[in-house]
């Protein structure tokens, strides 16, 4: 019983949006679907939902093509928020849940719980256009869960949320997972995915870059990252010189170095100790999803190299 995306492709006219993408989502997990803006995330999600059909390939849930599933299997949070602006929150949510086929009484009870859970009870009788952006986003989220779907498809769920609300939303995701829901969310903030999901798929220009458990994906480049900080030398200039180290980024709080293996990492620490430097931080880690993405993409042919616009959407640096 897993959601299997099997070699789906989709073109609009001459333009290929998604090409030969495959990945699997285990039930009861949070799955991060990652890529820059315009990578084909939304199109892929719409194909999972059977809002549009792939030209080739197929999406199945427990072996059944999604187009044969009851409509209430899925809950969908579209990237471009969609609600009736002049309609009262409560009426609107009741309407949408019932449209999915949910029972009125059950939905009403669920709604009470959810409004309290997200601290938006006082907005219940307001129209959507009276709400703040963050609260509209919460209502939009409720519109995707009230009919109690098995699978949640959430397109950029954190965009427009302040850090407090984003944290609250992440907590809700974990609760939903613990209730057995399968959650697929897309984001271009790769760190959100690293924090939340057990598995990820990264796509670039409509093609799958890599997919698998977060740990495996982070190890896929074969590199280790060293983070080191030394008191009194924020730039870690001592690292320059005959070493020929690949310094990934210099931050004010630490410097990040890509190393081929742990032995090289330890030799850096030894050198620091030998020089008697006041080391305040030393850490060996795998590259972040962000860096994994960049490393993989840089190995691709020139035509696939990300443009400046695409990269500005991926925050380089922590």
Partner 1 sequence: MFEPGRVGLIAKREWSTRVKQRSFQITMIIQILVVLALGLAPVIIARFAGDDEGSGASVVVVDRADAGVAGRLVPWLEGDGDTLETIEVRSGAGSPEAARAMIDEGDAQSALVVDRGDDGVLTFTLVTEDDRSSRNVQRISVAASAIAMEDRLVQSGVSLEEAQQVFTPVAFYVESPTNGQGDTDFAGSTDANAAEYAIAYISSILMFIAVVMYGTWIAQGVVEEKSSRIMEIMVNAATPRDLLAGKVIGIMMAGLTQLLPMLLVGSLAFSFQTQIADLMGVNVERVLDIDFGALTIRSVGFFLLYFLLGFVLYGALYAGVGSLVSCQEEVSQAIAPMMTFMMIGYFGAFFVLGAPNTTVARWLMIFPLTSPFSAMPRILLGNPATGEIILSVVLLVLTATGAIWLAGRLYRVGVLMYGQRPSWRSLARMGGMQQVAR
Residues that bind partner 1 (CB under 8 A): 13, 46, 49-53, 55, 67-68, 71-72, 74, 76, 78, 80-87, 95-96, 98-101, 143-144, 147
Decide whether 101 or 315 has the Cβ nearer to partner 1.
Answer: 101
Nearer to partner 1, 96 or 239 (CB): 96
Query: Exposed, middle or buried by CB within 10 Å (0-12, 13-18, 19+), for 309?
Result: exposed
Residues 6 or more apart in contact with residue 231 via CB below 8 angstroms: 278, 279, 280
Question: Closest separation between CB of residue 36 and partner 1, Å?
Answer: 20
Burial class (CB in 10 A: 0-12, 13-18, 19+), 138: buried
Q: How far is the CB of 49 from partner 1 (least distance, A)?
A: 5
Least CB distance to partner 1 at residue 159 (A): 14
Q: Report the alpha-carbon distance of residue 5 to residue 47 in Å, rounded.
A: 9
Q: Which is nearer to partner 1, 87 or 247 (CB)?
A: 87
**How far is the first Cα of the chain from the last one, in angstroms, to the nearest whole number?**
36
Q: How far is the CB of 101 from partner 1 (least distance, A)?
A: 8
User: In the complex with partner 1, which residue's Cβ is closer, 58 or 220?
Assistant: 58
Of 98 and 198, which has the nearer Cβ to partner 1? Answer: 98
**Pick 57 or 287: Cβ nearer partner 1:** 57
Work out the burial of residue 129: count CB atoms within 10 Å of its CB; fewer than 13 is exposed, 13-18 middle, 19 or more buried.
exposed
Tell me how far, at minimum, the Cβ of 98 lies from partner 1, in Å. Answer: 6
- Let me know if 231 is exposed, middle or buried by CB neighbors in 10 A (0-12, 13-18, 19+): exposed
Beta bridge partners of 151: 74, 182
Query: For residues 290 and 316, is the Cβ–Cβ distance under 8 A?
Result: yes
Rounded CA-CA distance 65/46 in Å is 14
Provide the minimum distance between the beta carbon of 18 and partner 1 in the complex, in angstroms, as a whole number: 14
């Amino acid at each position: 019983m897993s959601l299997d995306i099997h070699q789906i492709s989709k073109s609009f006219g001459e333009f290929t949006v998604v090409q030969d993408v495959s990945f699997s989502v285990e039930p009861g997990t949070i799955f991060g679907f990652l890529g820059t803006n315009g990578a084909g995330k939304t199109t892929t999600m719409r194909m999972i939902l059977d809002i549009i059909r792939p030209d080739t390939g197929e999406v199945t849930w427990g072996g059944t093509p999604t187009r044969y599933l009851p409509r209430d299997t899925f809950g969908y949070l579209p990237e471009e928020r969609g609600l009736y602006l002049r309609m009262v929150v409560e009426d609107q949510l009741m309407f949408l849940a019932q449209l999915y086929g949910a029972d009125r009484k059950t939905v009403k009870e669920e709604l009470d719980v959810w409004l309290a859970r997200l601290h938006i009870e006082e907005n219940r009788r307001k129209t959507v256009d009276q709400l703040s952006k963050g609260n509209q986003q919460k209502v939009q989220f409720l519109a995707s869960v009230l009919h109690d779907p098995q699978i949640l498809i959430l397109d950029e769920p954190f965009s427009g949320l302040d850090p407090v609300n984003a944290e609250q939303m992440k907590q809700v995701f974990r609760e939903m997972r613990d209730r057995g829901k399968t959650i697929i969310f897309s984001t271009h903030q790769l760190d959100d995915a690293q924090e939340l999901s057990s598995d990820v798929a990264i796509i670039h220009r409509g093609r799958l870059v890599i997919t698998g458990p977060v740990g495996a994906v982070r190890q896929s480049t074969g590199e280790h990252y060293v983070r080191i900080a030394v008191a009194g030398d924020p730039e870690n200039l001592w690292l320059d010189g005959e070493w020929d180290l690949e310094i990934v980024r210099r931050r004010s709080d630490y410097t990040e170095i890509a190393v081929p293996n742990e032995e090289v990492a330890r030799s850096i620490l030894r050198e620091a100790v030998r020089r008697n430097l006041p080391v305040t931080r030393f850490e060996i880690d795998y590259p972040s999803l962000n860096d994994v993405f960049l490393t993989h993409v840089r190995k691709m042919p020139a035509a696939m190299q990300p443009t400046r616009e695409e990269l500005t959407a991926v925050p380089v640096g922590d």
